[in-house]
Structure 1
Amino acid sequence: MKEKNESGGGYVRADQIDLKSLDEQLQRHLSRAWTMEKNKKREEEEAEARPTTTRQEWEIDPTKLIIKSVIARGTFGTVHRGVYDGQDVAVKLLDWGEEGHRSEAEIASLRAAFTQEVAVWHKLEHPNVTKFIGATMGSSDLQIQTDNGQIGMPSNICCVVVEYCPGGALKSYLIKNRRRKLAFKVVVQLALDLARGLSYLHSQKIVHRDVKTENMLLDKTRTVKIADFGVARVEASNPNDMTGETGTLGYMAPEPYNRKCDVYSFGICLWEIYCCDMPYPDLSFSEVTSAVVRQNLRPEIPRCCPSSLANVMKRCWDANPDKRPEMDEVVTMLEAIDTSKGGGMIPIDQPQGCLCFRSYRGP
């Protein structure tokens, strides 16, 4: 058997062919092809795993953000003071946990919650809703400013940046005024701010699902702004599709979730704003849950409370969700209240104080 030589002229005998050399060339060629294919596959996988290079409309530039001292701590993160592009901001940091300390399912759940919060919040624009500035997911460019300079943040931390409200949480403000109580005009104004914010959310088909005074902030003019959209979601057309038991005990309505549960929670907040006190202070969480559902327990309305305001509370926390007003109707009711003659809660230590509270608090 003869093979044509490489120059094309003449032939060589088969026993003169260097089979070992040919085999090595073939191996090198196959190895190169296999490596190229492997690299191509890896690049494709990495590209899929990488966040899209196109910046989301809500995404901040991490290099413009300076994170400062802690304002508050929660289960999955902290809220800090900060500066973004020269503006005072609050920065909510969500920590996925160090690698290996949290299961894949937990991290996926946290990422979904983060994405949900951003998806809801970044489209909102209302004077009684905390202004959303931006967010970033898993960036290594975040810095925390300390007395000793700046330290970097782990790349698994995500953050939401919102306007800074120097008045702090509404709950803290009410606690500070627990003995003095608030003027009736201030009570109605705070309630109107909250009602208008909720009315706006509901008009956008958004149910907050955790309406409580801790989640309401005060700006420098003492305007109430709704914050914390961690469990908010777009309202389902079928109420049965909404998950129940989301929110904070004491504020939660006793039925599956739709916007009327926000109305119930508003009723509890209204009582709290008027009384500068906490509902059910002597009951455990389990006792509150049971009594609200089975015994129709509600906070006791003080006798000094004007009937116009007491009526709003009662209608909002009615056991039948269908009898509760929509939030825009609540706004109208509050706007109609005459605050010129007073009617605020009378401090207990004043001689003319009403006997507003007894040891038992029932409906």
Structure 2
Amino acid sequence: MKEGNDGFVRADQIDLKSLDEQLERHLNRVWTMESNIKKQDQLSSSFGAASATVTPTVIAATSAPPARQRQEWEIDPAKLIIKTVLARGTFGTVHRGVYDGLDVAVKLLDWGEEGHRTEAEIQSLRAAFTQEVAVWHKLDHPNVTKFIGATMGSSGLKLQSEGGPIGMPSNICCVVVEYLPGGALKSYLIKNRRKKLAFKVVVQMALDLARGLSYLHSQKIVHRDVKTENMLLDKTRTVKIADFGVARVEASNPNDMTGETGTLGYMAPEVLNGNPYNRKCDVYSFGICLWEIYCCDMPYPDLSFSEVTSAVVRQNLRPDIPRCCPSSLANVMKRCWDANPDRRPEMDEVVTMIEAIDTSKGGGMIPGDQPQGCLCFRSHRGP
């Protein structure tokens, strides 16, 4: 990791397209190597103890290798109980769990024995992961999912089953965050795609998301994959930003932030085009999310991946804003998804704009099957 001119730690030129992939492919070998070294040290110490003439007190003080100091973000595996599966993905599973009495979500990653990196590359990737996790561990905001901790390559993990606890393989890594019972915002919107959301609910959800992103940007963090699928709801329907798999500490030089990272449909033109970008790519994605929250619909449902990329970059394609959308909200969308990143507002300005919206007169999306429904609303809906 390198430091920018402003003193903030930034990502180096290593392609950190997915933090999960790095963990799964490379870091387990480091821990296996360390474990083997410790075993060799212990064997050497035991052999030395059998042939040495020094006193037992000296042997006790010198034979055992020093214990590795636990990082502040590392959890105690003995306090974690892993329960039912919540979701399955390409690189692991997400479970419900309990950590030290708290309800948590646990992402399990099996690093396996993949990859053939050099020791230097592995150590560099491990250092990058440690740096990023240390940053996330210190984040504290009501609209950001609380990161509780992580552990890498521990033999103390237990999976709770009907027959009792089951020990997990030592190459399993886990990331522990607060458990949010409301599920993904995207799922909530899909459930409401016919009846829509009240305008007050739309504005409150938008405000939650805007405040969370404003906080991340104040901490020099660029999320890079802002979409409703990566936003979770707590029991009071508060929106919290989650899934920091491709997030980066913002580089002071925009040329160091390149590559098509994110999800198609939410990605800013400069990202799609492979140009340098900064935190304003999150602002663009927020504009798409705001449209989605208002409409309870998907952007560009009838276009292929290649068509979306071409149209967004070359034809300035954006989702159609319904005529029933209040101008105050539509203005926020348009400013956020401006093709020129410099013309997009900062997220703290977006927060101010949304706070100023008057929700007392309604203005929520009207279902198309009602007589007074919006005429520009499509008849075929949903994902």
Report the TM-score, using the length of structure 2 for normalisation. Answer: 0.78
Residue 305 of structure 1: aligned partner: 325
1:246 is matched with which residue: 239, 253, 261? 261
Question: 1:216 touches 1:225 (CA, 8 Å); kept in 2?
Answer: yes
Please list the CA deviations of residues 125-179 of structure 1 after superposition, one character each: whole Å capped at 9, or x if unmatched.
Answer: 0000011111101111111112222222121111111111000000011011010
User: For residue 103 of structure 1, what is the amino acid of its counterpart?
Assistant: G
Greater Cα shift, 144-153 or 260-269: 144-153
Is 1:291 paired with 2:311?
A: yes
Work out the CA distance in 2 between the residues paired with 1:322 and 1:94. 38
Question: Paired residues, what number?
Answer: 318
Which structure 1 residue ranges, 5 or more long, are not aligned?
A: 1-38
Superposed displacement of residue 331, structure 1: 0.1
Is 1:141 paired with 2:156?
A: yes
2:231 is matched with which residue: 194, 201, 216? 216
SS at match of 1:71: strand
Which structure 2 residue ranges, 5 or more long, are not aligned?
A: 1-36, 45-64, 271-275
Distance 1:112 1:349, change over 3 A: farther
Spell out the pairing of 1:1-363 with structure 2 (5 A cutoff): 43=41, 53-97=68-112, 99=113, 102-105=114-117, 108=122, 114-115=129-130, 117-255=132-270, 256-358=276-378
Superposed displacement of residue 103, structure 1: 1.5
SS at match of 2:183: coil
Question: 1:117 touches 1:229 (CA, 8 Å); kept in 2?
Answer: no
| Rg comparison, structure with higher value | 1
Residue 60 of structure 2: aligned partner: none
User: For residue 366 of structure 2, what is the amino acid of its counterpart?
Assistant: I
Superposed displacement of residue 286, structure 1: 1.7
User: For residue 43 of structure 1, what is the amino acid of its counterpart?
Assistant: D
User: For residue 116 of structure 2, what is the amino acid of its counterpart?
Assistant: E
RMSD: 2.8
User: For residue 165 of structure 2, what is the amino acid of its counterpart?
Assistant: Q
Superposed displacement of residue 243, structure 1: 2.3
Please list the CA deviations of residues 266-307 of structure 1 after superposition, one character each: whole Å capped at 9, or x if unmatched.
Answer: 000000000001111111112111111111111110110000
User: For residue 218 of structure 2, what is the amino acid of its counterpart?
Assistant: S
Distance 1:293 1:221, change over 3 A: same
- Percent identical pairs in the alignment equals 89
Question: 1:116 touches 1:230 (CA, 8 Å); kept in 2?
Answer: no
Question: 1:113 touches 1:230 (CA, 8 Å); kept in 2?
Answer: no
SS at match of 1:180: coil
Work out the CA distance in 2 between the residues paired with 1:216 and 1:289. 24
Report the TM-score, using the length of structure 1 for normalisation. Answer: 0.82
SS at match of 2:357: coil
Which has the bigger relative contact order, CA under 8 A and spacing at least 6? 2
Work out the CA distance in 2 between the residues paired with 1:51 and 1:174. 53
Distance 1:116 1:281, change over 3 A: farther
Question: 1:129 touches 1:227 (CA, 8 Å); kept in 2?
Answer: yes
Superposed displacement of residue 244, structure 1: 2.6
Superposed displacement of residue 104, structure 1: 2.8
User: For residue 284 of structure 2, what is the amino acid of its counterpart?
Assistant: Y
Please list the CA deviations of residues 32-62 of structure 1 after superposition, one character each: whole Å capped at 9, or x if unmatched.
Answer: xxxxxxx999539x9xxx9961010011100
SS at match of 2:290: helix
Question: 1:127 touches 1:225 (CA, 8 Å); kept in 2?
Answer: yes
Question: 1:127 touches 1:197 (CA, 8 Å); kept in 2?
Answer: yes
Work out the CA distance in 2 between the residues paired with 1:315 and 1:40. 57
SS at match of 1:121: helix
Work out the CA distance in 2 between the residues paired with 1:241 and 1:318. 22
SS at match of 1:144: strand
Residue 10 of structure 1: aligned partner: none
User: For residue 243 of structure 1, what is the amino acid of its counterpart?
Assistant: T
Distance 1:40 1:225, change over 3 A: closer
